[in-house]
Structures are given as C-alpha cells and as structure tokens.
Amino acid sequence: MKVAAIQMVSTGILSENLSQAGALLEQAARDGAELAVLPEYFCLIGQHDADKLAIQEPFGSGPIQQFLADTARTLGLWLVGGTLPLSASRADRVYNSSLVFNPKGDCVARYDKIHLFRFDNGTEAYDESRVLDRGEHPTRFSLPSKDGHLWQIGLSVCYDLRFAELYRIYAREGVDLILVPSAFTHTTGQAHWEILLRARAIENLTFVAAAAQGGMHPNGRRTWGQSLLIDPWGEVLAQRAQEPGVVCAELSAASLVQRRSQLPALQHRVLSS
C-alpha cells in the first residue's frame, strides 16, 4: 500500500490552509497513494491558541469536514484529516480530533487527542489544556488495500508519541500501521522526534506514518517538520525536512509478516500492563 504523509506550514487563514492541503493531496493521488495523512492543525495555526475556537465544528458537519469528505471522494483516497477542532461540551473548549474518510467520502473513524501538551523552557510556553478537552479512547480502523491485505491502523496525535502505553494497546490489537499527525515544536522535535517515532515502530513491530507541520508560521511559531514513513525494523523509508510537500512510500504487508516472524517479540511479552 502506498502511503503519503502530507507536510504543511499552516497559517491563521482557514481558506489558505484548505487550498494548500487540497493541492498537496492532489499530488499524493497523482503519486499513487491509497492513504494520505494531513498534519495536526492542518486547517489553522493562528496567532493564539484560542483562535481555533472560532472555526470549531460539531462532529458530522461543517466546511472543514465537508472539504475532507469531498476531497477523499474526488481523489479516491483514504484520507486522515490530521486534526481539526470539534466542539466539546464547554463553549471555551474543543477536541483536537483526527477524522478518517474512506474513498466514498464517509467518515469511518474519529480519534480525540488523549495527551495534552504542556511545555515551558523559559522562552517557549504552551499549554493545550487551556483550550482543549482531552479524548479518552484509543481508536483504530480497517483499510482494505488494493493488494488484498486488510490493514489495521491505529490513530494518535503529536504529544501522544511520548506515551508508549497507547501504542502497546494498538500492538495487542494487531495494528499494522500507526499514524502520528503532529505539530512538534522545533525545540522538542530536534531533540526527540525521529528517535521516538523509530522507537514506536521497533517496539511494536509496526509501520509508522508521521505527517508534520514543518517551518516558520506567520504567528512566529517554528515547527520541526521531518515528516517520516518508517518500517517495522525502524528504518526510514522516506522523509522531508522542512516546508510543504508530500512524503510517499510503499508499505509491504509481506515485510511486516517477515519481520514479526524473524523477531516475534510481541509474543514474548511477560508483563501485561
């Protein structure tokens, strides 16, 4: 199955971001991708965290969700809308949600980011809990690829990457591919991004596709980028350092079976929690 990780440098203008995403998804479709993954906050990185409240949508309707559904249907893609703000029970909070659309344009899965990022090094400071409500449940979906393999795919977002227990749940459920749409800061990305992604692939013997924000945004925020596709042995199949673009690679179900047969570590686990 050919997978595309879409790298963007989103702005504070929704229409600009949807246009940029649409053009990159068209490129991914031309490259033969069956599954395309947009980055976290593909639709908006505003001047302030609270800006996302203004574009929030109820689950099931709204211009961002319509864009994702229409694009998936038009291009014949499985499409993961990295994240978008979906309405929560409180007016001053939203969920940071990843939605999956099949090639018919139907939404088949929703994952709300579980782990909320908080960081302060004296220069940079972020606290997502000021605007976001956290999700509670891991989510996976099934994708029947053109080669006949039924891929089991686990959803996660950005800061989730630091919490290995989430991915172990997916490993127990037989997941073949983990998605990690992200907007890592330049500081934390430079230190830990690739290391953590490769570790999640290796320890769970899964493919990993990480679509990232990558560059300097109009609000002055700098994201790390380096969108990656990684195989179950921890080898990087494709990557892009910075700026918008499409990162594509073929993921082989046969190689997944081979690696798990050579090193059946998932069967050797002793501790169950």
Phi then psi for residue 72, to 5 deg, are: -60, -45
Whether pLDDT at 164 is above 90: yes
What does the alpha-carbon distance between residue 213 and residue 242 come to, in Å, rounded to a whole number?
Answer: 8
Q: How close are the terminal C-alpha atoms of the chain, in Å?
A: 32
Picking from 257, 246, 166, the residue whose alpha carbon sits closest to that of residue 209 is 246
Whether pLDDT at 125 is above 80: no
pLDDT in tens, 16-53: 999 999 999 999 999 999 999 999 999 999 999 899 99
What does the alpha-carbon distance between residue 251 and residue 255 come to, in Å, rounded to a whole number?
Answer: 8
pLDDT for 266 equals 81
Whether pLDDT at 95 is above 80: yes
Q: Which domain holds residue 117?
A: 2-264
Known catalytic residue at 113: yes
Q: β-pairing, 35-37 with 227-230?
A: unpaired
| 269 in a structural domain | no
Picking from 8, 9, 12, 7, the residue whose alpha carbon sits closest to that of residue 219 is 12
Q: β-pairing, 2-7 with 35-37?
A: parallel
How large is the average pLDDT for residues 140-146?
A: 95
pLDDT band at 272 (very low <50, low <70, confident <90, very high): low
Residue 133, helix vs strand vs coil:
strand
How large is the average pLDDT for residues 83-111?
A: 97
pLDDT for 273 equals 55
| 256 in a structural domain | yes
Whether pLDDT at 270 is above 60: yes
Phi then psi for residue 64, to 5 deg, are: -70, -45
Catalytic residue among 57, 128, 158, 248: 158
pLDDT for 127 equals 87
| 55 in a structural domain | yes
Share of the chain above pLDDT 90, in %: 87
pLDDT for 4 equals 98
How many CB atoms are located within 10 Å of the residue 214 CB?
26
Picking from 209, 214, 210, the residue whose alpha carbon sits closest to that of residue 190 is 214
As beta bridge partners, residue 246 has 6
Q: Which two tokens stand for residue 94?
A: 């939203």
As beta bridge partners, residue 177 has 153, 207
Planar angle of CA 130, 134, 139, nearest 5 degrees? 155
Whether pLDDT at 83 is above 90: yes
| 273 in a structural domain | no
**Cβ atoms of 162 and 50 closer than 8 Å:** no
pTM: 0.95
Q: β-pairing, 245-250 with 2-7?
A: antiparallel
pLDDT for 214 equals 98
| 271 in a structural domain | no
Which CATH number characterizes residue 154's domain? Answer: 3.60.110.10
pLDDT in tens, 211-262: 999 999 999 999 999 999 999 999 999 999 999 999 999 999 999 989 888 8
| 157 in a structural domain | yes
What's the half-sphere exposure (Cβ side, CA atoms, 13 Å) at 46?
A: 15
pLDDT in tens, 43-82: 999 999 899 999 999 999 999 999 999 999 999 999 999 9
How large is the average pLDDT for residues 126-131?
A: 87
Catalytic residue among 43, 52, 57, 113: 113
pLDDT for 268 equals 81
| 11 in a structural domain | yes
| 270 in a structural domain | no
Token pair 């679509």 in the structure block, residue: 211
Catalytic residue among 34, 40, 57, 128: 40
Q: What's the domain count of the chain?
A: 1
